[in-house]
Copies of this chain bind each other. A is one copy, B any other.
Amino acid sequence: MTAKKLDASDITERLTALPAWAVQGGKLHREYKFADFVEAFGFMASVALIAERMNHHPEWSNVWATVVIDLTTHDAGGITSKDFALAGEMERLARPRTT
């Protein structure tokens, strides 16, 4: 079951909940800056598990403490609710882990 491509107004509305994200090149985009490689890759490892569980995977790159994310749903030809769900999980995982 493929998620449906969201239209521009849907995307704009959903982005209000994710202020650090933007649409770039037709994909949901964010750049994260961590303290160092260990933190950056720790984030990526957490996201990898969640992405596999969701069966929805990011396009991403990493250089040292920077992780750049682009989310799109290839089957739908654009941004879907699955991309927003994964972006939301990333925001949660990027926050400090301890209380």
Binding site for B on A (CB under 8 A): 37-38, 41, 44-45, 48, 51-52, 57-64
Contacts and interface: CB of A to CB of B under 8 A. Distances in A.
A72 to B, nearest CB: 10
B60 A64 contact: no
A50 to B, nearest CB: 12
B38 A52 contact: yes
A64 B45 CA distance: 14
Contacts of A45: 41, 45, 48
A37 B52 contact: yes
Nearest to A65: B57
B63 A59 contact: yes
